């Protein structure tokens, strides 16, 4: 699927602000794919569709997770996590993309997962550092992303968990498992 | 068991520094017990024995966890966590204390657990705020502990997880589950 066709499909599902975010994620992700050697076409599609379900009805997504998907644990952790696994489902069944690497990168773009693939990491990170983002600490993550993908991802996860804890929000266990998985990978390298 | 007898039993197992820490935990824990209505005698014993296994042989403790105890998950998270569940075991089998509330407070004093008891919280917190501690942020936790036990415990856990993440150390999943459990309790109160 060509870029423009994909953008035309996704555009009506997003607000103007979120569409601009999506373009930022797409451009950032493609630069990361060039830098770290990922498939550029898959990266482009995963980035364009990563927030496809961002504005879907929460109750519809809750039922989808409960009755169809295997990510039922997320139901205990608020509604913000629903759009990632549901997005992967809708992109497969409504848009007809069935590449499992693309679908997984969409599915895990908010929470991460232990053993993230290169494409998972690129979409997760691009979502965090695209030019529209102003999180505290984002500039440091952008600098890390210049040379070290894993260091950037682990820093983004640290920032996210710290942010959630400060706000007394629930921490999704798989995100902590992702942090631990990256720390173990790093130790193994040494 | 009287305080002096308990202190005589624990003393030879600890360094001078760690014995002074234990006295600090004991005094702090008893003040917390008075403030929040816990059993003072149980609090005293749990505090005195909380670090009973701090300097036991790591390999001996690893084998104990592997072959006898039910906390096997901790083996994947470094050796620092061993002394709490092993301490509970040794205090039961060597010292002869068999009060399950005291043993649980020793067992969970490092990691916490979802649904911590009042005594669990007091020992966990006293270990964190006793006068010898100088962690960044400890003063704020001491202030919270003046009126709100749960707020102090959740802040101590936030600080601990943030500290471990900064150092790229593994986060024990049950500690995150403890954070989530306290956040949920708080929401339920409202």
Structural domain includes residue B142: no
Structural domain includes residue A99: yes
Structural domain includes residue A118: yes
d(CA A60, CA A67): 11
Considering only CB atoms, B165 lies closest to which of A161, A168, A184, namely A161
Give tens-digit pLDDT for B13-46. 999 999 999 999 999 999 999 999 999 999 999 9
Six-digit token pair at A118?
């290169």
Give tens-digit pLDDT for A86-110. 999 999 999 999 999 999 999 999 9
Asked whether A54 and A44 are in contact (CB, 8 A), the reply is: no
Asked whether residue B190 carries a pLDDT value surpassing 80, the answer given is no
d(CA A65, CA B56): 47
Give me the domain span that covers residue B127.
3-135
Asked whether A186 and A179 are in contact (CB, 8 A), the reply is: no
Contacts of B161 in chain A (CB under 8 A): 161, 165
Structural domain includes residue B69: yes
Asked whether residue B143 carries a pLDDT value surpassing 80, the answer given is yes
Structural domain includes residue A186: no
Structural domain includes residue B160: no
Structural domain includes residue A175: no
**pLDDT tier, A189 (very low <50, low <70, confident <90, very high otherwise):** confident
Contacts of B190 in chain A (CB under 8 A): none
Q: Crossing angle, helix A118-129 and helix A100-107, to 10 degrees?
A: 40
CB of B73 within 8 Å of a chain A CB? The answer is no
Tell me, what CATH number does A109's domain have? 1.10.3210.10
Structural domain includes residue A172: no
Backbone conformation region of residue B148, classed left if phi is above 0, alpha if psi is from -120 to 50, else beta: beta
Asked whether residue B156 carries a pLDDT value surpassing 90, the answer given is yes
Domain count of the fold of chain A: 1
Chain A nearest-CA distance from B4, in A, is 41
Contacts of A168 in chain B (CB under 8 A): 154, 183, 186
Give tens-digit pLDDT for A13-57. 999 999 999 999 999 999 999 999 999 999 999 999 999 999 999
Chain B nearest-CA distance from A155, in A, is 9
**pLDDT tier, A143 (very low <50, low <70, confident <90, very high otherwise):** very high
Contacts of A169 in chain B (CB under 8 A): 183
d(CA A7, CA A184): 38
What does B118-168 look like in DSSP terms, one character per residue?
HHHHHHHHHHHHSTT---TTHHHHHHHTTT-HHHHHHHHHHHHHHHHHHTT
Average pLDDT over residues B123-127: 98
- Test B165 with A165 for CB contact under 8 angstroms: no
For the whole model, what pTM was predicted? 0.94
Considering only CB atoms, A165 lies closest to which of B162, B173, B177, namely B162
Q: What is the mean pLDDT of chain B?
A: 96
Q: What is the mean pLDDT of chain A?
A: 96
CB of B72 within 8 Å of a chain A CB? The answer is no
Position B117 scores a pLDDT of 98
Largest CA distance in chain B: 47
């Amino acid at each position: 699927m060509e870029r423009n066709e994909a953008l035309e499909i996704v555009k009506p599902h997003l607000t103007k602000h979120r569409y601009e975010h999506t373009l930022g994620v797409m451009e950032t992700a493609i630069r990361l794919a060039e830098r770290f050697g990922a498939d550029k076409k898959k990266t482009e599609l995963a980035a364009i569709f990563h927030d496809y379900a961002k504005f879907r009805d929460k109750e519809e997504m809750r039922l989808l997770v409960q009755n169809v998907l295997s990510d039922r644990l997320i139901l205990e952790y608020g509604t913000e996590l629903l759009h990632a696994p549901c997005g992967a489902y809708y992109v497969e069944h409504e848009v007809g993309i069935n590449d499992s690497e693309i679908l997984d990168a969409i599915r895990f773009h908010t929470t991460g997962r232990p053993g993230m693939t290169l494409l998972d990491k690129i979409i997760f990170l691009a979502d965090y550092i695209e030019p529209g983002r102003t999180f505290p600490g984002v500039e440091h993550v952008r600098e890390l992303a210049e040379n070290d993908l894993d260091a950037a991802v682990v820093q983004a996860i640290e920032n996210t968990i710290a942010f959630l804890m400060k706000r007394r929000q629930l921490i999704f266990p798989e995100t902590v498992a992702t942090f631990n998985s990256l720390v173990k990978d790093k130790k193994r390298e040494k």
